Amino acid sequence: MKLMKRYMPAVMLFMITITCSLSSCSDQPSKPKGIDYKARGTHTVELLSEGKFDEVTESFDATMKSVMSPQSLKDAWRNIVEQAGAFKKILRTREEPAGAYKAVIVTTQFAEADIDVRVIYDQDGLIGGLWFAPATETPGHQSIPSYANPQTYTEKDVTVGSGKWKLPGTLTIPSKPGPFPAVVLVHGSGPHDRDETIGPNKPFRDLAWGLASKGIVALRYEKRTKQYQAQMAAVKDITVKEETIDDAVAAVKLLRETKSVDPNRIFVLGHSLGGYLAPRIAQAEPRIYGLIIMAGTTRPLEDVIVDQLEYISSLNGKLGEDDKKKIDEIKRQVENVKNPKLSPSTPASDLPFGVPASYWIDLSGYDPAEVAKNLKQPMLILQGGRDYQVTQADYEGWKKALSSKSDVTFEYYPGFSHLFIEGKGKPAPSDYEKPGHVSVQVIDDIARWVKDQ
């Protein structure tokens, strides 16, 4: 089995491949013409699977044609096949709104992973955006965790932020009279939905239901890179501020204005990338009362990428030549991130996962544990022992920086994964394909800590 195939089902740091035309991200009014977009999306994937890249690019709008040739599309498809295995079949197709346009998500089955192929269509039925990401919708696992009691809470739809980037969210509120402490849930890397759906698992939904069952309000929302994939793809100088921080601050503002919430007891819970950025979120909004960091790395993100690849390469022993070349290429791109000469003009193609230089420049020198050391907020640091993405080394980084602070609590769970789901055996990407729930021990520890503050 190839290394990159095994890597694909894991929680990815970034989308695999993304390209979008500026025209597809505009606010021009839609002019529906009775087009069957789902059928077009399905046909596009069929053409890709048959290697008919010239036919696909014939359906591109003018801007897409200028940025993606048949050869570059072929290269992108080959990259997916290298990582996810051979194309098998189309599983399902659905439509989603994309501003004034139509987004068709074709969930496809490859030999080693399911992939969402997202196609953006303009009002003339031309393709204005096309990219690939790990599938986020897996049917059949909708069980309620044992600790969630739907009779003790209600849920309502809310809007986080305003204007161009407003986001749909869900507020989970205890049924008893408030005001209650509240927690904002901040996603990991990638275009997550409000439940942070990963394969059959929904850790943010588990957290929201579990905490609300214990008298704590929880707010979760669609990540900006999920809700506005096309528009965000057109942002040339993106940083974590636009990706994550601004919306977390807007979520705190919404909670402060919510009648059932105690405005002086609002916490931010960050998972993975969200935990890594939690100290910066607290800097941006000092009124946050406390931070909960779940599997937050203390190492530079580019180092995490390499360590993940090297770990996964060790799972099955021998590497093929293609896998070695892929790892060497990633290492070369990481060296470019660390190069003092990195500048806004450095091509994204020379950097990990095609993420633009602006993103890496913004994070250059950022040390989350050192920033946290200078914060006044109490903190709860949680780490799973079966997490091969954010590891014990990161947990020790938090402890080294913060152990002298009396208002920081550390919890380590030897048998829990990156999603804080209990498991056994050597951790591997396949863990994310197994249905489960965030452990009740984690729910209890978070709820107890929040109420003690």
**Which residue out of 122, 323, 387, 394 is catalytically annotated?**
387
Neighbours of 200 (CB within 10 A): 17
- Edge-to-edge strand list for the sheet holding 127-134: 17-20, 127-134, 114-121, 101-110, 87-98
Task: Determine the residue type at 1.
Answer: M
For 317: left if phi > 0, alpha if psi spans -120 to 50, otherwise beta; the answer is left
How far apart, in whole angstroms, are the C-alpha atoms of residue 439 and residue 411? Answer: 13
Q: Two tokens at 246?
A: 């601004």
Catalytic residue among 418, 431, 437, 439: 418
Is 313 one of the catalytic residues?
no
Catalytic residue check, 387: yes
Query: Helix count (H) and strand count (E) of the chain?
Result: 17, 13
Catalytic residue among 24, 189, 272, 313: 272
Return the exposure string of 364-384: e unless at least 16 CB atoms fall within 10 Å of the residue's CB, then b.
Answer: eeeebbebbbebebbbbbbbb
| AA identity, residue 82 | E
> Are 316 and 298 a contacting pair, CB within 8 Å?
no
Strand partners, 111: none
| Rounded Cα gap, residues 109 and 86, in angstroms | 9
| Rounded (10°) angle between helices 273-284 and 246-256 | 60
Angle, alpha carbons 65-50-16 (nearest 5°): 60
* Kind plus residue range of the DSSP H or E element containing 102: strand 101-110
Whether the upstream peptide bond of residue 179 has omega within 30° of 0, thus cis, is yes
Closest CA to 5 of 391, 334, 309: 309
In whole angstroms, what is the distance from residue 248 CA to residue 252 CA? 6
Q: Is the backbone of residue 239 left (phi > 0), alpha (psi -120 to 50) or beta?
A: beta
272: annotated active-site residue: yes
Q: Which two tokens stand for residue 45?
A: 């994937």
**DSSP code, position 422:** B
Residue 163, phi-psi category: left (phi > 0), alpha (psi -120 to 50), beta (remainder): left
Q: Which residues are catalytic?
A: 272, 387, 418
